[in-house]
């Protein structure tokens, strides 16, 4: 490994750690889990084989760090992974759960309840409309794209979400999408 590739890898590892800490409100254990998935994928898989089995991951794969990030956030209730077949109600409920500690939670949930669904909306449109409802309260919806049949979704303060998307893009373009 050349010095410049080691430096860029170190840079990637530092960015992953920073992203993990930002998304988890400083949870160092979560950041360590994600860092392990980058530094020693086989060991990460060995430690988390039971959780990874349902994803069909038994050996290192491209995007493992993103899977590790999603799984770690989900275990800590900071993200909800929703199947693409679910309708607006499940996405709306998930957003409400993610906002459970927001100071204006009741007003935000009321705005989500006021959304009129037709039942034929595609997932990106559902997420956009939920984002519109929460954006007036300073929040934003984002997903981590695992190139799978699910939508790992979270809601957080817009200023933090914008930092998350920018930092994630410096690691890998289009993995974290802000709606």
Cβ neighbours for 92, distance < 8 A, ≥ 6 positions apart? 112, 113, 115, 130
Q: What is the DSSP letter of 119?
A: S
Reply yes or no on whether the pLDDT at 93 is more than 50. Answer: yes
pLDDT of residue 5: 45
Check residue 7 and give its pLDDT: 47
Q: What is the pLDDT of residue 34?
A: 97
Query: Which sign does the torsion angle of CA 124, 130, 132, 134 carry?
Result: negative
* Residue 116 pLDDT level (bands cut at 50, 70, 90): confident
Q: 129-179: per-residue pLDDT in tens?
A: 999 999 999 999 999 999 999 999 999 999 999 999 999 999 999 999 998
Q: Encoding tokens for residue 58?
A: 């038994």
Q: 147 with 63: CB under 8 angstroms?
A: yes
CA distance 25 to 97: 17
What value does the mean pLDDT take over residues 4-18? 72
- What confidence score (pLDDT) does residue 127 get? 95
Q: Where are the alpha helices (DSSP H) in 40-153?
A: 41-47, 49-53, 64-75, 88-98, 105-113, 123-135
- pLDDT class of 119 with cuts at 50, 70, 90: confident
Question: How would you classify residue 123: left for phi > 0, otherwise alpha for psi between -120 and 50, otherwise beta?
Answer: alpha
CA 14: distance to chain centroid? 18
The answer on pLDDT for 1 being more than 70 is no
What pLDDT, on the 0 to 100 scale, is given for residue 179? 86
**pLDDT above 60: residue 35:** yes
pLDDT score of 104: 82
71-90 pLDDT per residue, tens = 999 999 999 999 999 999 99
pLDDT-based confidence at residue 70 (cuts at 50, 70, 90): very high
pLDDT greater than 80 at residue 3:
no
């Amino acid at each position: 490994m050349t010095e410049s590739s080691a430096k860029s890898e170190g840079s990637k590892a530092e960015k992953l750690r920073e992203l993990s800490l930002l998304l988890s409100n400083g949870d160092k254990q979560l950041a360590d889990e994600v860092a392990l998935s980058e530094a020693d994928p086989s060991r990460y898989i060995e430690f988390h084989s039971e959780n990874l089995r349902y994803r069909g991951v038994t050996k290192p794969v491209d995007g493992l760090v993103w899977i590790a990030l999603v799984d770690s956030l989900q275990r800590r209730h900071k993200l909800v992974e929703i199947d693409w077949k679910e309708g607006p109600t499940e996405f709306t409920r998930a957003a409400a759960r993610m906002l459970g500690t927001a100071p204006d939670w009741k007003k935000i949930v009321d705005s989500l309840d006021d959304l009129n669904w037709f039942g034929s909306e595609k997932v990106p449109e559902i997420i956009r409309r939920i984002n519109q409802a929460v954006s007036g309260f300073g929040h934003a919806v984002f997903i981590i794209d695992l190139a799978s049949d699910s939508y790992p979704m979270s809601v957080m303060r817009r200023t933090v979400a914008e930092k998350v998307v920018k930092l994630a893009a410096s690691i890998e373009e289009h993995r974290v999408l802000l709606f």
